[in-house]
Chain A
Amino acid sequence: MFLTTQSLTKEFGKLRAVNEVSLEIRQGDIHAIIGPNGAGKSTFFNLITGYHPVTSGKTVFKGKEITHLPAYHRCQLGLTRSFQITSIYPKLTVYESVLMGLLSHRRATFNFFGSARSYYKKEVWGILEDVGLADQADRAGDSLSHGDKKRLELGITLGTEPEVLLLDEPTCGMSPDETESTMTFVKKLVEDRGLTILFTEHDMSVVFGIAKRISVLHQGTLIADGTPDKVRSNEEVRKVYLGESK
């Protein structure tokens, strides 16, 4: 049991955004959470990563219950996320941003006298080359294109050398080409670094091409969970997605 949720529920006043979702994410999988708008995908992510407190239910990671742990602690345990609205450092350079992830993960941040830029040069360049931003290392975060910003965020999260990477709509706003290259890259990450990836997505073609397991949420409830084929042939899923454009 790698990462599981047990009857995870979130209520905002009277609105039940996530309704008793029990899921298992297996180590090494690329696991997609899909569902129409408002299905609760992002909220579910927020519960796992500690962005919102849960109303009820449990989250267990590597045998340890993390349901009420503060967000930063979960990240230290190996769970890192990206945000749907790309969250990067506007004025730090690409290099400095990725460095931040590494400094945090390697617990070097409580050091008062070293020179920050001298740390982890090899690792930072390694990540920069992996995400294809090595030639823009000195550019400020907010001067990048949208697609590059998403790659930057990915690079920053890789700095924390996570075990599970939660990507919230990683291809949001990308062109079909960019989408494809991003997902290929994500697949490579799993192979090269042994990551487990959990991601939310709208675009069905993206999901079915790459996910090993798919969970479908509808109005906060889990309606299907399994291999792509199983999900594709699920009646309720078809009903929910009837009329949804690809």
Chain B
Amino acid sequence: MGDSTRGFSLRKFKLKDHSLGMAFVVLLIIATIMGWPNFLKVRNLTNILRQISYTGIIGLGMTLVIISGGIDLSVGSMTAFVGGISIFFLNLFGVHSPLGIVLTILFALVLGMACGFVNGILVAKFKMAPFIVTLGTMSIFRSLIQYFSNAGTILSVNNSYGKLGSGVFFGLPIPVWCFLGVGILLHIVLNNTSFGRYLCATGSNEQVARYSAINVAIIKLLPYVITGFTVGVTALMWSSRLNCINPSDCTSYEMDAIAAAVIGGTLMSGGKGSIIGTMMGAIMIGVINNMLVMGGISAFLQQAVKGLVIIVAVLMQYNNNK
């Protein structure tokens, strides 16, 4: 037990994600046997990472929500809402405004957190079921952005906004950097701060937390605000990548975000989870989808495979916990 945990070692997730690591090995072997020369090419791999980063970033926040014992179904609509409103905000600054971009980044993050705050306050303060609350706000966000956009595309007029989402930095696309950055940040928050500890305690048994002088309401509120923040990041990445937002964008992001968390070993019943696991889970979904494409399997079947992977992941959780 002398293993000190000074610094932010990644030791914790090793054992738990053993099965996930094995799954990756299996996938690589399949790719080799099938003889897909393109699979291991850097370009393909960066592409996979880019594809999964949008929902992956949200999955990181979602992990905390699930650990708290909740769920957030509104993230997809919220992304479209925050992205759309942020472009309206950006367009106030004219065509060549670097200041506009900086302020828009802040605006999107704050707006995302505000949206998350609404979810969180209803769950934590008014003690409503998270499923119901976020089912409601899911419709509300979607409806609002459709109203504000008149159901049409919201275009950015800024010339350089697009560089944010399509830019590449040290060989990796910026959204991937965001995915890694937010991931490491939340990993540390979850494992090395008192908030992370209280979060697990509250998710595992709210009464114990209350009887241990923990302010349960705040602990239950914060994960939604953090998820709102991750939604803000994704909204920026997605809207700047296309330089526009369609009010029907980002539909069913919540499914991918939840799937990443669950495949990564986060318990749906709360109390336990891993950010690194969620990152691996998100990458796993991307890799499988990519291989299905390479294998020439119908795109319509991709969702079925994803569904299968989720079920198998939960089944393994169940057996481990028996």
Do A and B pair up? The answer is: no
Interface residues of B (CB under 8 A from A): none
